[in-house]
Amino acid sequence: MTKKIEMNYYTITVAVKPYIRAFLENNFGSPVDIRKDPELNNIVEFLLKEGATRLDKTLQIKYPDSVCIRISRDTFHRYGFTLTKTATQRLNCYLERRVKFFARVYIANNRSIGIPLARCIRDFQEKFNFPEDVWSAEAIRKDFTRNGKTVQAKFITNFKDELNKIFLEFMSESVTLSESFPKPGQE
């Protein structure tokens, strides 16, 4: 007996950078099912809706990769299935900021406990499936060097505060604290 599968979605093909494609496919499958991420789904819907009313012939986009993104039948019937060049660029910028933020946070977290930068980057590439030909360690290092120091400083401060709190609680329980330190719950 043949079972008829009803397709409740369409796909759109979007030009992207290789590491954005890897990020989307690693997190949302192939074709990319963005329904699992309401924020991203809303952005794609908005860009489709906005693009239905404008043309942008002068903008040139040369992203070397592409990805298929699922959209609902309703979205397809309301806004179509084509992102303008401007919308494609805006989607790439949004996803690039998001991916780089995750990379910076992961690397800063590991750097704050003393792991060398090169090892942090390799671990990030391995754990999140970004091979060297998709997103090079050198490109990640440059981005982290430019933009990751603030994230790392926050992690170190928070990490130090948490360690001090644990230490003080432990010392308080063993009654070896001086009277000048507040006991847990008296802060």
pLDDT tier, 135 (very low <50, low <70, confident <90, very high otherwise)? very high
Q: Is the pLDDT of residue 5 over 50?
A: no
Segment among 48-52, 127-131, 141-145, 172-176 with least mean pLDDT: 172-176
**How many Cβ atoms are within 10 Å of 69's Cβ, its own excluded?**
24
Cβ neighbours for 49, distance < 8 A, ≥ 6 positions apart:
78, 79
Average pLDDT of the segment spanning 81-95: 89
In this predicted structure, what is the pLDDT of residue 156? 67
Predicted TM-score (pTM) of the model is: 0.74
Lowest mean pLDDT: which of 65-79, 129-143, 169-183? 169-183
- Mean pLDDT over residues 128-146, rounded? 94
Cα distances (angstroms) measured from residue 103 to each of 21, 31, 83, 116, 121: 15, 23, 27, 15, 8
The encoded tokens of residue 126 equal 């391995």
What is the average per-residue pLDDT within 156-171? Answer: 71
Among 10-19, 50-59, 118-127, 157-166, the range scoring the smallest mean pLDDT is 50-59
Angle in degrees, 0-180, between the axes of helices 85-111 and 117-127, rounded to the nearest 10: 130
